[in-house]
Structure 1
Amino acid sequence: MEPTQQLDYAAVRAAAGRIADAIRPVAVAPAADGVWYALEYLQHTGSFKARGARNFLAAHAAAGTLPAAGVTIASGGNAGLACAWAARAQGVPATVFLPGNAPRVKVDRLRGYGADVRLVGDRYAEALAACQEFAAVSGALSSHAYDNPLIAAGAGTLLDEIRAAVPGLDTVVVAVGGGGLFAGVATAAREHGVRVLAAEPENCRALNAALEAGRPVDVAVDSVAADSLGATRVSAAALDVARGEHVRSLLVPDTAITEARRALWEEHRIVVEAGAATALAALRTSAEPPGKQVAVILCGANTDPGDLVTSGASPE
């Protein structure tokens, strides 16, 4: 029997129970008056994706639907890392399809987790097509980087942890690619009356474009944050929750993302991906009052820190 495929707050709470002993509770650090950084880049595999992957495979294992052929996924990197990590914990193989231009640091780490890495094309859609063909032939369980209720519910467990660490939390800022993290966090936030600022690069705006069109649509992908936020289409679940009054869609230019990423390093010695810095960039450029207690989710750090070198200093 397949695990329940529904994204609501009950699914987020069920996910929290499944993964509690496997993931690292998020650390939260004060950044400025009323602003907190949720340091989710410290999570296993270097990003929030570990939550969803662990929930997805644990739910299937409990339901008896996790095949001996293991799991397969198409990913720009972070979801593949999380899938390989979670598969290793379950003792099953992981076959991960990535675009050929995926960052080398992510490819090397994937192989370190024991994954069979296959590089296909130069866009996520091409890797996804190859993954789907492999699943059909091999019988492997097909996972998804973001468009699955179990994946999104696992990611959504982050919100309650942040609320526990930041009393009076009224706003959370989250970067959006395909929408898995956003959908989960926004679903939990809706339950507690927390506002969500959904941050996207101007040229990776799958959620923003879907809101304009009234349905998920394909968008062009061209951003410094494309390696983690470069989905061409947002999930239907993300669009559904984004229509709520508690959500605001924000677009930020690449220059602001680069500046935010560098500021995190220079001011706090925090090294994150451009995708993670997109959330902070949105807060720094937003014209509206952010809220009284705001958490900025720094969601991933699988990046090469070499380009953060300034004034002769380098990250060590």
Structure 2
Amino acid sequence: MTETPDLTFVPTLQHVREARAIVRQTTTTTPLDSARFLREYIGSPVFLKAENMQRTGSYKIRGATYRLSQLSEDERARGVVAASAGNHAQGVAFAARELGIPATIFMPVGVPIPKLEATKSYGANIELVGNNVAEALEGAKKFAAETGAVFIHPYDHPDVITGQGTLALDLVDQLPEIDTVIVPIGGGGLAAGVSSTLKQLAADAGRNVRVIGVQAANSAPFPVSLREGRRQKIEARATIADGIAVAEPGELTFELVKNYVDEIVTVTEGEIARAILLLLERGKLVVEAAGATTVAAIIAGHVKDSGNTVAVLSGGNIDPMMLEKVIAQGLTASDRYLKLNIALHDVPGHLARISTILADINANVIEVLHTRHNKALQLTHVELDISVETRGTEHAQEVLAALRAAGYDPRVDRNATP
């Protein structure tokens, strides 16, 4: 029988502090570093909480450790089971190994190899089932029913939420004068634990701390759920921020987010890609898409004049193949890469002239295709596809303006990537 959740649950400061003593067995205190390159976007100091540098590569190990630590001896003997394509899998597998508990992790067949190998290296038994996390989840629940293994929910459990709340204690220890915290939201476990703990700490100190949650626009059930006053299930679309891609908020997490998170904003795929690229170039940090949503919210203009602001980078487990694609998308979204199509009269000299124009404004030509085989072209014309590297939006506009001033009509392919 499924236990009815206590929707009035709030992790107390005492319980979160007790949880931190346990969580410290498997975690490290990750850096909180100043990010001066982000201050220009909001007009106040920004700090990055680098949970991407946490053991197993994400904050998930916090909730997993505390959840497993609270199991009875009988439950430990039966083992645990979880379903995930990444961070939750690694968190549960690592915590189970450290606590001496047998663990089985169900992962979809197409899980990225680095995440599969990392989870396996922590000693968990891996079952590849289904083509997505939802199908792996069904396999895990069936396994739990058949074997008696304890199913470990990724976010909607009091112990998991309490474990994630330990992050708030670290934040206040590292930056007592904290004013705003930006946190990613998927199912809501991290946001629920951090926001409820922060609000209690702030109240005790006679201060106010604002909490802003961020969801990927392609998978954002919290905004509509909060508007309706109850949980709503949406048809989630594909997003590069797969770590926070959910169709419906959790039961416990929805109540806590509703009561303790001040605002929820959404960010686009392009904004997320730009944030990943910015963190790589300026912050020297490898951050997965879900973890970069907090910085995406900053560069998208959703956060302004917010005092001492912390952006939580929730994880860094990004597949190298995905990273390559995201960097390419980030370059395009930042107007650092332009693919231009220009129709030209079929006479000598145009290609040389365009090359000179681009060289004069320091635009680097990456690739050129000069063809007369497009059926839509007039017989007297040829087509030039030219890919150009620029320094950003302002420089890209200079490129287009220079070409137009010379009498050309460049068309930008907004879907093209390097």
State whether TM-score is above 0.5: yes
- 1:290 deviates by 4.6
In 2, Cα distance between equivalents of 1:65 and 1:293: 46
8 Å Cα contact 1:19-1:51 kept in structure 2: yes
Tell me the residue number matched to 2:129: 120
8 Å Cα contact 1:49-1:82 kept in structure 2: yes
3-state SS of the aligned residue for 2:75? coil
- Label 1:242 to 1:67 Cα distance change in 2 as closer, same or farther (>3 A): closer
Alignment of 1:1-316 (within 5 A): 6-10=9-13, 11-32=15-36, 33=39, 34-60=45-71, 63-191=72-200, 192=202, 193-244=208-259, 246-305=261-320, 306-307=323-324, 308=327
- Label 1:282 to 1:88 Cα distance change in 2 as closer, same or farther (>3 A): same
Q: Deviations over 1:134-154 (max 9, x none)?
A: 001111111011111111111
| Structure showing greater Rg | 2
In 1, Cα distance between equivalents of 2:257 and 2:197: 12
In 1, Cα distance between equivalents of 2:305 and 2:261: 13
- Percentage identity across aligned positions? 32
- 1:100 deviates by 2.9
3-state SS of the aligned residue for 1:67? helix
- 1:169 deviates by 0.2
- Label 1:114 to 1:208 Cα distance change in 2 as closer, same or farther (>3 A): same
TM-score (norm. length: structure 1): 0.91
- Counting matched residue pairs gives 308
5+ residue gaps, structure 2: 40-44, 203-207, 337-365, 367-418
- 1:184 deviates by 0.6
In 2, Cα distance between equivalents of 1:288 and 1:85: 35
In 2, Cα distance between equivalents of 1:287 and 1:226: 18
In 1, Cα distance between equivalents of 2:153 and 2:11: 18
- Label 1:210 to 1:152 Cα distance change in 2 as closer, same or farther (>3 A): same
In 2, Cα distance between equivalents of 1:235 and 1:53: 17
- Amino acid of the structure 2 residue aligned with 1:23: T
- 1:237 deviates by 2.2
- Amino acid of the structure 1 residue aligned with 2:67: F
- 1:226 deviates by 4.1
5+ residue gaps, structure 1: none
In 2, Cα distance between equivalents of 1:285 and 1:65: 50
CA RMSD of aligned residues (A): 2.2
Q: Deviations over 1:273-304 (max 9, x none)?
A: 00001111012213452511000000111113
- 1:238 deviates by 2.1
8 Å Cα contact 2:216-2:245 kept in structure 1: no
In 2, Cα distance between equivalents of 1:18 and 1:245: 25
In 2, Cα distance between equivalents of 1:123 and 1:262: 27
8 Å Cα contact 2:187-2:246 kept in structure 1: yes
In 2, Cα distance between equivalents of 1:223 and 1:269: 27
- Amino acid of the structure 2 residue aligned with 1:52: G
* More RCO (CA 8 Å, sep 6+): 1
3-state SS of the aligned residue for 2:110? coil
The 10-residue stretch of structure 1 (17-26 or 104-113) with the greater mean CA deviation from structure 2: 17-26
In 1, Cα distance between equivalents of 2:10 and 2:234: 24
- 1:123 deviates by 3.2
The 10-residue stretch of structure 1 (88-97 or 250-259) with the greater mean CA deviation from structure 2: 88-97
8 Å Cα contact 2:236-2:247 kept in structure 1: yes
In 1, Cα distance between equivalents of 2:229 and 2:109: 32
Q: Deviations over 1:19-73 (max 9, x none)?
A: 233310121000024100001111110000010111011111xx43533231101
